[in-house]
Amino acid sequence: MSSTNVTAHLREALESQRASFAKAPNPPWHKRKEKLQKLGAMIEANEEEFQKIISEDFSHRSFVETSIAEIMIIKAGINHALKHTPRWMRPKKVSTALQFKPASNRIIPQPLGVIGIISPWNYPLQLAIMPLIGVLGAGNRAMVKPSEFTPKFSELLKQKLGEIFSEEEVYVATGGVDVAQAFSDLPFDHLVFTGSTAVGYHVASAAAKHLTPVTLELGGKSPTIIDESANMAQAVARIANGKLLNAGQTCVAPDYVLMAKDKIGTFVDDLIKQAEVFYPSFAGNPDYTAIIADKHYKRLQGLIEDAEAKGATIRVAGDDDSQQMAKERRIPLTVVTDTTPDMKIMQEEIFGPLLPIVPSESLDEAIDYVQKQPRPLALYWFGEDKAKRDRILNETISGGVSINETAWHVVQEDLPFGGVGPSGMGSYHGEHGFKTFSHMKGVFQQSKFSGGKMLYPPYTDKTKSMLNMMKKIL
């Protein structure tokens, strides 16, 4: 399809969603519930097919990881929405200041209309469906553009969503970057983009042309700080798990570690051992996920080579045959020490199983380091000293935080999920998603009896004394 045709086709889809929305602009709960239930049943019925197809796109994706990090998260998200959306939908009475009584105020959540969802390849199902849960729960229509890096999955998603929704309810646009660009150019009522910070700039400026509000779920370098008060065995296992899930291709994976220099040697030995316990071999291991594409495999190898050339020490877990690993596009846990700021691995989001370690001798030094970096999507702190924990929470800014854990804040339905500054803007999940995809309309209702007429012109001495009285009660 030519680019003019792509744009025309997408605009047509948007217009027909808009027309259909206009006929039912505020669907009652039973209609929304039906959609969420259909969505949940479709995901559950097709779990194996999704596992298989995502694995084919990755060349290998652990089936268990697809269940844990995609299917289960979606199931929890749908169940949470089914349980709580009726309450979130209710108009909320809010207080009215004394001088306006007996009038009343309320906030009415209202569907926005047609919401665009652009999703990435790393958790292709979860990151398309989690926003969709909020969008449908809030009573909207959705147009979805999944990633071109998972083409088979994207076609399957289109087919499966097409079996349960009409194109006026949920439309899926598949295709390459040209389609993604035309998609982000559409005048949606809201656009939620999950992907890299670099593409986030393009999406935000395309949306700005129509003043389309955006939620940007971006990436960045998420620091992990290990305090001397930490339980080291626990920290090692939890960091290894957070780093190696999906072979590190997770937006909230620990990107680098800050810790005292004299502890680094033991930590690295233990981390390597832990990775080898999790994955007795990396090559051919069904539990270990491959790197999505040659482009990213080469990028990650380039980060290791660049660091080594600039004086870093590289430790690799396991003793797999490197040719076999390259053939399978797998990279084992690779720990990088003796890092310097000029290394690319210390500048770019890693998004793979490489973990650089940065010596940091005090809490002040760790806070100073984090404060000087772009604001990250996540921050992890390991330790038992509550005063230090509170300083980290108060003095660093990140999208979210897990304490003595990695990544788990993301799967708490009651916590907002989103970045800050270059790691994103806005948030969703649970009620935060419902509010993001609703217009929270403020309504003032005047009563039969209102003191307002006392302020009508012409302004007289009576008005002035009324004003003086009001000044006293405001």
- For residues 94 and 105, the answer to whether their CB atoms sit within 8 Å is yes
Residue 181 contacts ligand NAD per CB under 6 A: yes
- Tell me if 194 contacts ligand NAD by CB under 6 A: yes
Backbone angles phi, psi at 354, to 5 degrees: -105, 135
Report if residue 396 touches ligand NAD, rule: CB under 6 A.
Answer: no
Is residue 180 near ligand NAD by the rule CB under 6 A?
yes
360-368 contact pairs (CB < 8 A, 24+) = 360/225, 360/258, 360/259, 360/260, 361/260, 361/261, 363/227, 363/388, 363/391, 363/392, 366/223, 366/225, 366/258, 366/392, 367/391, 367/392, 367/395, 367/396
Which is closer to ligand NAD, CB of 46 or CB of 423? 423
User: Could you confirm whether 365 is annotated as catalytic?
Assistant: no
Instruction: Decide: is 121 part of the binding site for ligand NAD (CB under 6 A).
Output: yes
Catalytic choice (65, 70, 217, 413): 217
Residue 189 is a binding residue for ligand NAD (CB under 6 A): no
305 is catalytic: no
Query: Is residue 157 near ligand NAD by the rule CB under 6 A?
Result: no
- Residue 184 sits in the site that holds ligand NAD (CB under 6 A): yes
Nearer to ligand NAD, 251 or 304 (CB): 251
Options 65, 70, 251, 413, the catalytic residue: 251
Binding mask 406-425 for ligand NAD (x = CB under 6 A): -------------x----x-
The distance of closest approach from Cβ of residue 132 to ligand NAD in the complex, given in angstroms and rounded to an integer, is: 14
**Is the distance from CB of 359 to CB of 260 less than 8 angstroms?**
yes
Say whether residue 129 binds ligand NAD (CB under 6 A): no
Nearer to ligand NAD, 70 or 217 (CB): 217
C-beta separation of 290 from 61 below 8 A: yes
433 binds ligand NAD (CB under 6 A): no
Give the tokens for residue 26: 């505020």
Using rule CB under 6 A, residue 208 touches ligand NAD: no
Question: Using N-to-C axis directions, what is the helix angle for 47-58 and 151-164, rounded to 10°?
Answer: 160
Binding mask 231-270 for ligand NAD (x = CB under 6 A): --------------------x-------------------
Total residues at the site for ligand NAD (CB under 6 A)? 29
Contact segment (CB under 6 A) with ligand NAD among 114-122, 164-172, 313-321, 451-459 equals 114-122
- Of 20, 196, 404, 412, the residue at the interface with ligand NAD (CB under 6 A) is 196
Backbone region of residue 75 per phi and psi (left: phi > 0; alpha: psi in -120 to 50; beta: other values): alpha
Nearer to ligand NAD, 54 or 377 (CB): 377
Residues belonging to the active site? 217, 251
List residues near ligand NAD by CB under 6 A: 118-122, 127, 145, 147-149, 177, 180-181, 184, 194-196, 199, 202-203, 217-219, 251, 349, 351, 377, 419, 424
